[in-house]
Amino acid sequence: MDKFRFAYRTNWRQETNALNKALEELESRHIPVMDLTASNPTVCGFVFSDEMLSALNVPENLRYQPDACGMRKARQAVADHYARQKVFLSPGDIILTASTSEAYSFLMRLLVNPGEKILIPRPSYPLFQFLLEINDVNFDYYPLHYDGHWRIDYQALERCVDSKTKAIILVNPNNPTGSFVSTSELNALNEICRNHQMAIISDEVFFEYSLSPADAVSCAGNQAVLTFALGGLSKTLALPQMKCAWILASGPQLVLQESLDRLEIISDTYLSINTPVQNALSLWLDHAPEIQEQIIFRVKENWQWLKAHLSEHTELLSLQGGWYVTLRIPAVKSEEEWVLEFLKEDHVLVYPGYFFDFEREAYIVLSLLPPAPIFQEAAGRILSRLARI
Ligand SMILES: Cc1ncc(COP(=O)(O)O)c(C=O)c1O
């Protein structure tokens, strides 16, 4: 079998990196590691109402009534959830998927032929590269620059656009920079997309975790160009295991309708969204405020603590929302050396900036989800090491 010819798109480098080796070695010595990369909200001590579990125990769950884009009542529940945030959508413009990652795949199948490309932000979420490669989609990065705030570099973005560019991905707010797209940025992007016949895909999974909600601008319902805003339960309710996400489609009527018709066939081919979650969705989304309040409280508590305990050698980059924060640390060592030192000496795991493709060194990214005592102990250890330079 060693001569078996797998598809080129799966020729990933799979060797263990130095960070994983160091983690394995600590584990083999039974040394506990404090995890400041925690991204699984179900193990961070948030409380979920019992009513949410009872919503799964209903007789309707034993009946299968497939609907290509998701059951009507479930799509209505998503529309009602957005209406509470003053974003008005028709259930007919909503497509349910099992995850945001699946939503990306559906959109790649809809929009991009092999050899064509889309633009993705840098720094950003590392899964994009895999998602795009698996779908045979080429990509170019467009940079986000930091000058006290993160901003899109339009000139660089426009230089990446050519006749093969089909869409721009925004992450709003971005992971890990926590930056939202501004109204003027959205206007400029609409202009670029209109001029070059491109769509916008706006990943808004963290949108409800804004530190100042008045400043957050959503692309949901954007009419200027064909737009797909993405959201889902993994962040809205902090329940990634429930496997439910959505595409909110909007734009000029003709192209919007054509997209929905085509997406319906793609969705119908998979029918991947499960019935129990769709039956529970309306009740579950009523619980969104109480879950989001707990998370926003935690994020703010850890962020404030960090601000109050920074040493002169570290800079906390501005944060508008999301679950992560970025620190600029002295580039007297590489990010990899720093992160290995934090792990081996302090037993604290953080993300190196290169994981998110930061253009320069040295940055680290911390999750703000861990309970405050754990966060303070772990972040305290790395801050004291940085203070000793
Ligand atoms: C920006 C962003 N989009 C999407 C996802 C994945 O969402 P889902 O679980 O719905 O695939 C994540 C997960 O962390 C994320 O950070």
CA 230 to ligand 1 center in whole angstroms? 10
- Pocket lining for ligand 1, CB < 6 angstroms: 39, 99-101, 125, 171, 175, 203, 205, 232, 234, 240, 245
Is pTM beyond 0.85? Reply is yes
Q: Is 343 exposed, middle or buried (0-12, 13-18, 19+ CB in 10 A)?
A: buried
CA 259 to ligand 1 center in whole angstroms? 23
The answer to whether residues 69 and 95 touch, using CB atoms and an 8 Å cutoff, is yes
* Residue in 37, 99, 100, 230 to alter for ligand 1 test, most ligand atoms within 8 A of Cβ: 100
Report the topology of domain 64-286: Aspartate Aminotransferase; domain 2 (3.40.640)
CA 1 to ligand 1 center in whole angstroms? 35
Could you count the other beta carbons within 10 Å of the beta carbon of residue 161?
18
DSSP character at residue 317: P
Ligand 1 closest atom vs CA 245: 10
Tokens at 331, concatenated: 């580039």
Per-domain residue ranges of the chain: 15-46+289-387, 64-286
User: Could you tell me how many helices (H) and strands (E) the chain has, helices first?
Assistant: 13, 14
pLDDT of residue 311: 85
Ligand 1 closest atom vs CA 171: 1
Ligand 1 closest atom vs CA 102: 11
Ligand 1 closest atom vs CA 39: 14
pLDDT of residue 383: 97
Cα–Cα dist 75/63, whole Å: 18
Ligand 1 closest atom vs CA 233: 10
Residues of the chain with pLDDT under 70: 1-2
Cα–Cα dist 365/386, whole Å: 15
Residue 161 CA to chain centroid, in angstroms?
24
Sign of the CA dihedral 175, 96, 98, 249?
Answer: negative
Write out the DSSP string of 338-361: HHHHIIIII-EE-EEGGGGT-SSS
The answer to whether residues 97 and 263 touch, using CB atoms and an 8 Å cutoff, is no
Tokens at 14, concatenated: 């799979």
pLDDT of residue 101: 97
Tokens at 121, concatenated: 């932000």
CA 43 to ligand 1 center in whole angstroms? 17
Helix, strand, coil % over all residues of the chain, rounded to 5: 45, 15, 40
The answer to whether residues 198 and 169 touch, using CB atoms and an 8 Å cutoff, is no
Cα–Cα dist 13/16, whole Å: 9
CA 293 to ligand 1 center in whole angstroms? 20
Q: Domain 15-46+289-387 maps to which CATH number in 3.40.1830.10, 3.40.50.2300, 3.90.1150.10, 3.40.50.10260?
A: 3.90.1150.10
CA 176 to ligand 1 center in whole angstroms? 11
Nearest residue by C-alpha to atom 5 in ligand 1 = 100
Strand order in the sheet with 117-122: 94-97, 245-250, 227-232, 199-203, 165-171, 117-122, 138-146, 150-152
The answer to whether residues 280 and 350 touch, using CB atoms and an 8 Å cutoff, is no
CA 232 to ligand 1 center in whole angstroms? 8
Query: What's the full length of the chain, in residues?
Result: 389
Ligand 1 closest atom vs CA 232: 10
Nearest residue by C-alpha to atom 7 in ligand 1 = 100
The answer to whether residues 70 and 94 touch, using CB atoms and an 8 Å cutoff, is yes
Phi, psi of 261 (to 5 degrees): -60, -45
The answer to whether residues 104 and 133 touch, using CB atoms and an 8 Å cutoff, is no
